[in-house]
Structure 1
Amino acid sequence: MSRRVVITGLGVVAPNGVGLDAFTHAIKNGISGIRKDPDLERLQFSCQISGKPEISEELSLNYFTELELRNFNSTGILYGVIAGMDAWKDADLPILNSEEPDWDSGTIFGTGTSGIDKFRESIYKIDELQTRRLGSTAVAQTMNSGVSAYLGGKLGLGNQVSTNSSACTTGAESILMAYERIKSGQANRMLAGSTSDSGPYIWGGFDALRVCTFKHNESPEQGSRPMSTSASGFVPGSGAGAFVLEDLETALARGVRIYAEVLGGNVNSGGQRGLGTMTAPNPIAVQKCIKDAIAHAGIHADDIDTINGHLTATTKDSLEIENWSEALGRRGIDFPYINSLKSMVGHCLSAAGSVESVAAVLQLHQGFIFPNINCEDLNPEIESIIDVLRIPRKLIEKELNIIAKASFGFGDVNGCLILKKYTV
């Protein structure tokens, strides 16, 4: 018998809200988390604004001991552990105190890099012959699997505990990998998600590539402009999103709230062939990813009510809309509603797919479509494909049944999730 997989817990650390309540309020009201960044200004970046979650030391101490926080400066692990443990708690799951781990529960928690500030610190201390002053957690902070290792230890997970990494597609991929593990019967429950480091040493390369906006250093909240004529590049961001995925029978037996059902999805690559490059998507692969996700989920293109797009506020936004239209065979007023969370949080890199997927699940569960901000001057190429009414600029209260969530990443890699409102 095929197992159904549902989402029973959510956690989020975003530039415009840490925790589900703050984040939900922000996305419903179009509240931006993008601010002037004094570090980027001091270092003379072209883009001097960013989306960076605000985490106090007091909040950190709810998840880490004082000893653990000594010499700790991995923002990605910090964000991931907070989001992951919040999702676990939200799913009404206990933290085991027994000697034996929970064999039925695991985590696949992705990242792009880990502990980049700790790497920088290591370089300086090693060069100054102070290697022993790095501290005992230097390895755990800088290994890519550090975030899943911390979560596995804090929650006592005994099933698969690993980290995936696929650039901007990381979050969507982690959810699909967790879904497949439960679907195949190898786990009853998986904590999925992704996180990203923050700060100039992770964002500097993108600034050097000239893919970040430099036109809104004095008006940060207007800086991220997906689907806009005046879009001039993405705003760097960071954070983490987390999900407890669970076998439906296990969830029903526990009597817990079910946010949504994961129907399926697809990941693929354009192979950097045709129009695909390290930084540009291959349209054929993007369209195939969407079509294959729909087929895998067992639905029709017409069933999709809303798309939560990748839409980064670059010149590729109109191409993404065209790819969606071609893949779905839908144009004009027949096109689904579409929105981009990046208008409020920037591009959270390896955390983008998971933070945005939290927003997608909340829309399904609560029945709303969050507004796109900063796209009053809609790109005419986009307007020629879909009706302007399908790009909401104000909150829409509406019951939704199916959402498609996509992420398209560096390296010409793609991921598309199909999520459904849970019904018996």
Structure 2
Amino acid sequence: MIKRVVITGLGVVAPNGVGLDAFTHAIKNGISGIKKDPELARLQFSCQIAGKPEISTELSLQYFSELELRNFNSTGILYGVIAGIDAWKDAGLSLEINEEPDWDSGTIFGTGTSGIDKFRESIYKIDDFQTRRLGSTAVAQTMNSGVSAYLGGKLGLGNQVTTNSSACTTGTESILMAYERIQSGQAKRILAGSTSDSGPYIWGGFDAMRVCTFKHNDSPEQGSRPMSASASGFVPGSGAGALVLEDLETALARGAKIYAEVLGGNVNSGGQRGLGTMTAPNPVAVQKCIKSAIAKAGIHPNEIDAINGHLTATSKDSLEIQNWSEALERKGTDFPYINSLKSMVGHCLSGAGSIESVASVLQLHHGFVFPNINCEDLHPEITALIDESRIPRKLIEKELNIIAKASFGFGDINGCVIFKKFKCHPLTLSKGKGAKSENQ
């Protein structure tokens, strides 16, 4: 039997807010987390601003022991574990250590490059004949699956424990992989999400490609400008987002709070054919991805109330809007609301899709559309397609029913997931203990 899949827990580590309360406050009020980065300035990067979560030692010690934190410098794993455990706790799930693994629960938690600072440290020690001083956690910190391995151990997960990696599409893909595993009955719940390391060794390649802005080093909060005529490249960012996906029957049976339902989605690739390249999307594939996601979700394009776009503040923003308009066959004032979290946090790379999905679900759950900042001068190619009112510059308090979240990543790979506000039918509720929902 095909299972319905709902979201019962959220966790987030973002440049403009660590934890759900801080993050929700930030996105509702258009608060930027982008700041001047002294290390990027010292290293003479063209782009000397970045979005980097602020994690204190005191906060880290709530998730790791002092022994675990000794010689620990993998920010991606740190962000991912904090977001993942927060989501688990938010879902009302136990953190008690049991002898038996939880066979029904797993994690699919993606990343791009893991532990690059530890890699650098290891290279220098090996070259200096100090291999024995690498420490016992060098492997766990540098293997790509380190984040899912840490989460699997801390939560005692006995189902699938794995890490996916698909550039900027990683987080969206992890949600869809979790959805499919639960829908098919192979797991009752999956902690889905993604994370990205921070720092110059992650961001240096993008700076060298000249895809990052260099015009706002003295005005960091104004640097990330999706959909703006004055956009000059993306601002590098980092962080993690996490979502607990669960089959509806299990969630209802334990009386879980339900944020939203995952209706389905799609991933595909443009094959770097046509107009697609390593860094540019193939419009045919993007539109096909969106259309297939809508079809798999069983909805009509007119039912989409809002879009949380990829929209990185590069020259491709106009093309993304065009792809959405053509895929949905909607334009002008008929186009859904659309926003880009990157205006406030920058491009969090492999962590982007999951952080932005958390923001999407929060909009559904609480009934608002967060504002786009730094786009007072909307690109004329965008306003020629859709009405300015569809790109909110101020918070809109509004009940939403369906949001489409998409990521279009490096390598010409795409992902789109459809979230729906959860509404309990009395007959459904009678089958379980009852779901804590604003929609009962």
TM-score, normalized by the shorter chain, greater than 0.5: yes
The SS at the match of 1:407 is strand
Report what 2:433 is aligned to: none
Alignment-mate amino acid for residue 402 of structure 1: I
- Residue by residue over 1:32-85, the C-alpha shift from the partner in whole angstroms, topping out at 9 and shown as x without a partner, is 000000000000000000000000000000000000000000000000000000
Report what 1:210 is aligned to: 210
The SS at the match of 2:407 is strand
Report what 1:62 is aligned to: 62
Tell me by how many angstroms 1:155 deviates: 0.1
Report what 2:292 is aligned to: 292
Matched, 1:341 2:329: no
Alignment-mate amino acid for residue 28 of structure 2: K
Report what 2:156 is aligned to: 156
The within-5 A match list for 1:257-272 is: 257-272=257-272
8 Å Cα contact 1:96/1:102 also seen in 2: no
Report what 1:173 is aligned to: 173
Report what 2:431 is aligned to: none
Alignment-mate amino acid for residue 369 of structure 1: V
- Residue by residue over 1:147-200, the C-alpha shift from the partner in whole angstroms, topping out at 9 and shown as x without a partner, is 000000000000000000000000000000000000000000000000000000
The SS at the match of 2:101 is coil
- Residue by residue over 1:116-158, the C-alpha shift from the partner in whole angstroms, topping out at 9 and shown as x without a partner, is 0000001111111111111000000000000000000000000
8 Å Cα contact 2:178/2:190 also seen in 1: yes
Report what 2:27 is aligned to: 27
Report what 1:127 is aligned to: 127
Report what 1:372 is aligned to: 372
The within-5 A match list for 1:72-91 is: 72-91=72-91
The within-5 A match list for 1:192-271 is: 192-271=192-271
The SS at the match of 2:403 is strand
Q: RMSD value over aligned CA atoms? A: 0.4
Which has the higher mean CA deviation after the structures are superposed, 95-104 or 316-325?
Answer: 95-104
Report what 1:358 is aligned to: 358
The SS at the match of 2:332 is coil
Alignment-mate amino acid for residue 158 of structure 1: G
Question: Aligned partners of 1:18, 1:323: CA distance in 2, in Å?
Answer: 33
Report what 2:115 is aligned to: 115
Report what 2:306 is aligned to: 306
- Residue by residue over 1:270-296, the C-alpha shift from the partner in whole angstroms, topping out at 9 and shown as x without a partner, is 000000000000000000000000000
8 Å Cα contact 2:2/2:185 also seen in 1: no
Question: Aligned partners of 1:385, 1:37: CA distance in 2, in Å?
Answer: 37
8 Å Cα contact 1:188/1:246 also seen in 2: yes
Question: Aligned partners of 2:148, 2:230: CA distance in 1, in Å?
Answer: 39
- Residue by residue over 1:280-337, the C-alpha shift from the partner in whole angstroms, topping out at 9 and shown as x without a partner, is 0000000000000000000000000000000000000000000000000000000000
Report what 1:183 is aligned to: 183
8 Å Cα contact 1:108/1:161 also seen in 2: yes
Report what 1:44 is aligned to: 44
The SS at the match of 1:157 is coil
Report what 1:420 is aligned to: 420
Alignment-mate amino acid for residue 272 of structure 1: Q
Tell me by how many angstroms 1:256 deviates: 1.3
8 Å Cα contact 2:265/2:294 also seen in 1: yes
Report what 2:282 is aligned to: 282
The SS at the match of 2:203 is helix
Question: Aligned partners of 1:395, 1:99: CA distance in 2, in Å?
Answer: 48
8 Å Cα contact 2:267/2:414 also seen in 1: yes
Matched, 1:93 2:93: yes
Report what 2:430 is aligned to: none
Equivalent residues, number? 424
**TM-score, with normalisation over the residues of structure 2?**
0.96
Instruction: Name the % identity.
Output: 86
Provide runs of 4+ in structure 1 moved above 4 Å. none
Question: Aligned partners of 1:74, 1:6: CA distance in 2, in Å?
Answer: 31
Alignment-mate amino acid for residue 350 of structure 1: S
8 Å Cα contact 1:196/1:238 also seen in 2: yes
8 Å Cα contact 2:198/2:238 also seen in 1: yes
**TM-score, with normalisation over the residues of structure 1?**
1.00
Question: Aligned partners of 1:243, 1:191: CA distance in 2, in Å?
Answer: 6
Tell me by how many angstroms 1:99 deviates: 1.0
Alignment-mate amino acid for residue 246 of structure 1: E
Report what 1:138 is aligned to: 138
Report what 1:328 is aligned to: 328
Question: Aligned partners of 1:41, 1:75: CA distance in 2, in Å?
Answer: 20
Structure 1: 5+ residue stretches without partners? none
Tell me by how many angstroms 1:230 deviates: 0.2
Alignment-mate amino acid for residue 106 of structure 1: G
Question: Aligned partners of 1:61, 1:365: CA distance in 2, in Å?
Answer: 31
Question: Aligned partners of 1:323, 1:61: CA distance in 2, in Å?
Answer: 45
Question: Aligned partners of 1:215, 1:421: CA distance in 2, in Å?
Answer: 40
